């Protein structure tokens, strides 16, 4: 790919996402989230920035949780981060509200299980502590009812982890403050900053 072609592709993706993401933030707008995937890799997950975020997230998970038996990834998209997460889990399950994204995720990570669903409709069992770890990376700011999502994560996971980029702190962070045993850390790369929050849930 020539440099000019790459620039044109980047500009086209940016223009499309500006259109597709209208009214998406904090709205549970599943139709427009699926619309974003009319282009491949709409979030530029193959970029060096996102790959660095994946690596930093894995490093933190490994440090605090080690290898886990089962992991549920909320908002898995096309499976880019799933590829990284599967190195740390015996079995990875991914959910996303976009059926288009889930189709691509199944091709990208054939060893994982995927479903086009939100966390309230995931199909793999409803019992408390169903998964060793539930992660929600860069997804909470699209959710209308963050407290209900966090409560559901805590029900399904023996432990949970969420990441979100710094500009979303005002909207997202206050909902996490009341979680018992909450721990925090920061990830930084190329001038971008993300907050990482994790916690263990009572049996």
What range does the domain containing 190 cover? 45-200
CATH number at residue 53: 3.40.50.150
Interval 75-92: pLDDT, tens: 999 999 999 999 999 999
- Residue 203 is predicted with a pLDDT of 79
- pTM (2 d.p.): 0.93
Asked whether residue 24 is assigned to any structural domain, the reply reads: no
As a whole number of angstroms, the distance between CA 56 and CA 189 comes to: 9
Q: Give residue 25's pLDDT.
A: 82
Residue 101 lies in a domain: yes
Domains of the chain: total: 1
Answer yes or no: is pLDDT of 1 > 80: no
Residue 158 lies in a domain: yes
Residue 33, in any domain of the structure: no
Domain assignment present for residue 157? The answer is yes
Cα-only R_g, the chain: 16
In a domain, 190, yes or no: yes
Name the average pLDDT for the chain.
94
Q: What is the pLDDT of residues 119-142, one digit of tens each?
A: 999 999 999 999 999 999 999 999
Task: Give the pLDDT score at 26.
Answer: 84
Residues with Cβ within 8 Å of residue 194, at least 6 apart in sequence: 53, 138, 163, 164, 165, 166, 186, 187, 188
Contacts (Cβ under 8 Å, ≥6 apart) of 111 = 86, 92
Note whether residue 10 is domain-resident.
no
> Closest Cα partner for 43 from 74, 71, 81, 8?
81
Q: Which of 185, 194, 191 is nearest to 63 (CA)?
A: 185
24 against 166, higher pLDDT: 166
On the question of pLDDT at 146 being above 60, the answer is yes
- pLDDT value, residue 5: 67
The predicted pLDDT at position 7 comes to: 74
The string of pLDDT tens digits covering residues 159-199 is 999 999 999 999 999 999 999 999 999 999 999 999 999 99
Q: Give 9's pLDDT tier (boundaries 50, 70, 90).
A: confident
Report which secondary-structure segment, H or E, holds 8.
helix 3-20
101 vs 13: which has the higher pLDDT: 101
Residue 105 resides in a domain: yes
């Amino acid at each position: 790919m020539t440099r000019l072609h790459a620039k044109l592709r980047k500009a086209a993706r940016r223009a499309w996402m500006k259109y597709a993401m209208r009214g998406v933030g904090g709205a549970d707008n599943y139709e427009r989230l699926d619309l974003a995937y009319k282009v491949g890799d709409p979030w530029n997950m193959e970029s060096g920035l996102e790959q660095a975020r994946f690596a930093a997230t894995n490093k933190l998970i490994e440090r605090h949780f080690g290898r886990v038996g089962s992991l549920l990834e909320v908002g898995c998209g096309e499976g880019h981060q799933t590829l990284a997460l599967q190195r740390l889990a015996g079995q990875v399950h991914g959910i996303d509200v976009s059926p288009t994204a889930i189709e691509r995720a199944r091709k990208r990570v054939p060893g994982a299980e995927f479903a086009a669903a939100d966390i309230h409709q995931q199909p793999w069992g409803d019992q408390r502590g169903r998964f060793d770890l539930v992660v929600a990376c860069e997804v909470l700011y699209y959710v209308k009812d963050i407290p209900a999502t966090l409560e559901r994560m805590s029900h399904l996971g023996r432990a949970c982890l969420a990441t979100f980029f710094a500009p979303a702190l005002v909207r997202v962070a206050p909902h996490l403050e009341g979680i018992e045993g909450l721990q925090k850390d920061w990830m930084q790369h190329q001038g971008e900053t993300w907050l990482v929050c994790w916690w263990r849930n009572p049996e």
